[in-house]
Structure 1
């Protein structure tokens, strides 16, 4: 029986794939990809851009296709069999990647091209591919001698174990704590759904009463709504001391080991520190620029944050006689003040946000801006009945992309929302292969009596993911590794975050925000409340984000060998951003998984960086009309279609005519 994954196909043949096809298919295409690399290495001709760099870029294409199908399904429509296969396949793919990046013969060819080629004979995209290929080897230790390579492997091995250990300790601490309530009066203020979930948890453990945990769906509502201040204090302190207690799950030593090893690794590769190593491949370029960016925002945001904190303190005093606002009071009084000030109820908005209408609204915005047209097609193979497929064409009727949408939660689908691709875009032999893009979300499903109605937050999520999809769909590059969303980490959120801005515009809402029963357009008063509440306590929120970014940079750009005590180190970093009184039992670093177990080390600033880009870019639209065709064309030509073919700042300046200014973000946030 033929393995469908090893035959030629354009759209993914979901219904014809058997689960048993995956493992043999991966074995075969890894073998093919290795053979393609071997062919490049054994080529007796002088290494050139075409026979080495370009050949590498177009190697392993079938492996990429099968990987995209498999791992996308493992996120959106998984089962135990797929998960077992993933455990087997992932290490093989990792080993294949190492075989390439640590192959001295392959690097020798790449280096010869890099050292000898006349760059004036190359296009900008080719120069970028050459630099990226060469740097990929160097940043993985290709220039080191054998002893140094062994040291690098040892550091990497230690770091992977320490990060896993850090995560396991945070999880163990989270699971170890419970707030068990037996007095019903202690539930005052909590929403019914939260109380019901706590009761269910107690029943599962065969206990009376209600149980709250440090899992966010339990913890956040408790500190936001629970009237009992002492209980808020207890659970908040428990949350703040994860990994910072004298027990088996203490993360203090692990944090210090991780930052020292990262520093050692960076210096081994010739960088001053870990931040310098990371930021070389980011839009921000170096630690000095990031610190300057964060501190500049801090100067602008701090006065607003202090003013908001004083208002919140006065409100808590007036409402409940609280003399000193503590960390466990923040969410509680913020929510009370927000409800009093805006009287905005999500449930009242939902009838105006029928999913089909919102999706068509996003399509209409893309048509007005970029001349795209979306036609649902029913002949494309799908992996689930919920999935819809759309042919995307331009004004000339040319095929631009295929779009898959998958919007409802189900067993076998992970939480959250994301954009991905089943097929990249590239140009080879004069043929422009168009991409197959997918957006996956977990929205409120329809019922027998109602269609799917979205919260406003879900509406912004749809537009956000659609922005990523536009980045993928409008890709127009030669090489697949530079196509679509293959851009710097601190640039990839610009197309997604900018699309969220249209959701707040009356002109856009008039296109799709209509009551699902009456057809009435959303009332202006609701639009005003949405816009007003978007900036609520924005100064304090900005200061909090900046404090995390500055702490991250301190860990990764200062000499870690001199750091002896986590608590005093943190307190020093928070001197400029502190609003609430310190809590002696708490630190942040021992549970800061983003930077010690995730991919955000020396990169936490990028959340704010991308906000500056999107606010500045949308400000350009606002000044000239939010559907201005000329500006939209520039955004398409210089940002959306270019992928990673040039430095993002170069592309941004071509679009905007200048570097981004944080003023637009500060204005949008109500901070100036």
Structure 2
């Protein structure tokens, strides 16, 4: 998963989360946000930042931006004193926002959550005050109408700035602008509440096992982790399982106890849908309805039409065309997979029918039976530190990068670590933080984000945040193949942010259309399990032995297994997203019945649920992927085609191909239309055949 820098739009960094808690005013001299950072490479001074600094810094950021805009409003409009000045006007606000919103994702606490709830409407109002300022928009329009001689990048910035005002409602009359303000205010609060409810629901669930026989089938590493978790929770001598992926997913895959699998599965899939004070159903319905109303005010048929206009897909019809094509290829495969599992259950003679909580367990049995492959056998070869060094080596071989550990640098949590990134010649590129393990203060999933984005004369500071399996006792952190792939994925996003080489921050790094942003991340996944790459990092944590060729062959043979399920559960969520966001204005739905109807229309089989059900679909209801969850598969068309360019040379590290990808994709940010950037790299449009082949759906 990727979370862009928490920037609501081109000017403000006030988007996805939000907040401000009641806090005492702190003198400016004591507030680290209001001074130049005196830290290595100018990173945030996390050791100095306290909750009471945040609201005053936000307020000062709002005040400073308003002052800058007052100056802009008085000047004769030119590109420099209007467009560039406007971009620079939000510098302090972005400085505060990037730290605050990243903390609310990776290391939150009740104070920060309270700040989020308080600041959401204030920041929404500030954004509206800018984007609905008729005088300011008049100046921007004047530059847009008579731009003069501009570079291509300047033209792109001008066009995006103009469009951002139009899409925010600058052309609406006063009554509609007032409606827009109310919608934005309410949405800012609802999206915060959704995310906070989900985190609370995830953290509140625990499955306590006190009989060792109920652990049958579970790998020793998971049992030890569960024992440690129970001990930390004040329940020594027992085993504690949670809804964090590193716990729930292997439990569903390996636990012989079917009753406990059902409890875990239902706990996972009922988050936000339990009728308590953390229930998200009403929030989901309101968000969908408000987004549709906002789109209608702006003249769009739906929220999806509004969003996709700026993406590669352009229209919901084009996005749905790809999703439907893949659905029709994948659903029959998923049904065949279900039939195979049912045969295994029938042989066991228990008279049981395959259910959703059985899928991971019996898929693993079929995988072992067909391919003699056990993913758990891979773990000893995927020591976290070795995988990290392998990723660094891949980046060095592709782009000549060096990663140097930084000591004595402020960290936002003791789990985090920092590296300086350099070119081969020693030139400083930026800083990357890495934070790998789950905790109650961190939301689930994995993402990349920025603390400072690249611009002319400004080096980037980025971060990778994950929830991987923790070390146990004397055993280091050993990753599953899925976790290895996730690490490569998020690192690809980080490279996109680090290698950006543009003039304007608005256009830099990952600030690209949602259905293009996953290309740099997903292409990195292709290197993870290439045999020559495995030779670099897949070493047994005890013996140092390189992973055996036979085990690699088994993994490769099994790689297309269960792809019907993987594709269908993802597509079901993508189509659910499109279902919510193609609703017309004024139509309110009950999320449970709406989701059920949508899945019945698709013909989704009962044994598979959407990857994210409505009440915990954070990507679209509390993240930046509304009407955009399809983008992963859209980008997979691109990344499959792009990696084929490397394979076609006979060298997955081909210097010319790597240089072209860096030059035309990673460095360019949003300085040109994504399809133009892709064609400049590939010399043609992408072809879907490589995706179908990779997923084993090319039948």
Q: TM-score, normalised by structure 1?
A: 0.83
Give, in whole Å, the separation in 1 of the partners of 2:143 and 2:86: 13
Counterpart selection for 2:135 from 89, 105, 114: 105
Counterpart selection for 1:17 from 48, 53, 70: 48
> In the TM superposition, what whole-angstrom CA distance separates every residue of 1:208-266 from its partner, at most 9, and x where no partner exists?
99998988777656655555667766876787677889999987776665544433321
> In the TM superposition, what whole-angstrom CA distance separates every residue of 1:625-656 from its partner, at most 9, and x where no partner exists?
21011111111011100111112122111111
Q: Which position in structure 2 is the counterpart of 1:663?
A: 689
1:78–1:413 contact (8 Å) kept in structure 2: yes
| 2:636 is aligned with 1:611 | yes
Q: Secondary structure at the match of 1:433?
A: coil
Q: Which position in structure 1 is the counterpart of 2:534?
A: 509
Give, in whole Å, the separation in 2 of the partners of 1:458 and 1:594: 19
Give, in whole Å, the separation in 1 of the partners of 2:490 and 2:307: 26
2:47–2:411 contact (8 Å) kept in structure 1: no
Q: Mapping of 1:38-437 within 5 angstroms? A: 38-43=70-75, 45=76, 47-73=77-103, 75-76=105-106, 92-118=122-148, 121-157=149-185, 159=187, 224-225=253-254, 258-320=287-349, 322=351, 324-345=353-374, 348-378=377-407, 388-407=417-436, 416-427=445-456, 432-437=457-462
Give, in whole Å, the separation in 1 of the partners of 2:460 and 2:489: 19
Q: Secondary structure at the match of 1:14?
A: coil
> In the TM superposition, what whole-angstrom CA distance separates every residue of 1:595-618 from its partner, at most 9, and x where no partner exists?
455543322212222222222211
Counterpart selection for 1:654 from 649, 667, 680: 680
How far the C-alpha of 1:295 sits from its partner, in A, is 1.4
Give, in whole Å, the separation in 1 of the partners of 2:43 and 2:241: 44
Q: Which position in structure 1 is the counterpart of 2:562?
A: 537
Structure 1 residues 196 and 379: alpha-carbon distance in aligned structure 2, compared to 1, 3 A threshold: closer
Counterpart selection for 1:527 from 552, 559, 565: 552
1:139–1:269 contact (8 Å) kept in structure 2: yes
Give, in whole Å, the separation in 2 of the partners of 1:102 and 1:580: 47
Give, in whole Å, the separation in 1 of the partners of 2:173 and 2:495: 44
Structure 1 residues 447 and 326: alpha-carbon distance in aligned structure 2, compared to 1, 3 A threshold: closer
Give, in whole Å, the separation in 1 of the partners of 2:379 and 2:230: 29
Query: How many residue pairs are counted as aligned between the two chains?
Result: 662
| 2:621 is aligned with 1:621 | no
Give, in whole Å, the separation in 2 of the partners of 1:78 and 1:214: 18
Root mean square deviation of aligned Cα: 4.3
> In the TM superposition, what whole-angstrom CA distance separates every residue of 1:180-228 from its partner, at most 9, and x where no partner exists?
999998776566857996999899899x999989887776566555556
Give, in whole Å, the separation in 1 of the partners of 2:274 and 2:98: 42
> In the TM superposition, what whole-angstrom CA distance separates every residue of 1:127-185 from its partner, at most 9, and x where no partner exists?
22112212222222111111112222334455556667777888999999999999998
Q: Which position in structure 1 is the counterpart of 2:495?
A: 470
1:616–1:665 contact (8 Å) kept in structure 2: yes
| 2:658 is aligned with 1:632 | yes
Structure 1 residues 48 and 455: alpha-carbon distance in aligned structure 2, compared to 1, 3 A threshold: same
Q: Which position in structure 2 is the counterpart of 1:554?
A: 579
Structure 2, unpaired ranges of 5+: 1-28
2:132–2:177 contact (8 Å) kept in structure 1: no
Structure 1 residues 455 and 277: alpha-carbon distance in aligned structure 2, compared to 1, 3 A threshold: same
Structure 1 residues 15 and 554: alpha-carbon distance in aligned structure 2, compared to 1, 3 A threshold: closer
How far the C-alpha of 1:459 sits from its partner, in A, is 2.6
1:5–1:17 contact (8 Å) kept in structure 2: no
1:409–1:442 contact (8 Å) kept in structure 2: yes
Structure 1 residues 564 and 582: alpha-carbon distance in aligned structure 2, compared to 1, 3 A threshold: farther
> In the TM superposition, what whole-angstrom CA distance separates every residue of 1:562-595 from its partner, at most 9, and x where no partner exists?
88887776566435643535999xx955665544
* Deviation larger for 162-171 or 493-502: 162-171
Q: Secondary structure at the match of 2:511?
A: coil
Give, in whole Å, the separation in 1 of the partners of 2:473 and 2:355: 46
Give, in whole Å, the separation in 2 of the partners of 1:606 and 1:648: 13
Structure 1 residues 18 and 503: alpha-carbon distance in aligned structure 2, compared to 1, 3 A threshold: closer
How far the C-alpha of 1:523 sits from its partner, in A, is 1.0
1:172–1:249 contact (8 Å) kept in structure 2: yes
2:128–2:181 contact (8 Å) kept in structure 1: no
Structure 1, unpaired ranges of 5+: none
* Deviation larger for 370-379 or 381-390: 381-390
* Deviation larger for 142-151 or 220-229: 220-229
Q: Which position in structure 2 is the counterpart of 1:497?
A: 522
Give, in whole Å, the separation in 1 of the partners of 2:427 and 2:192: 48
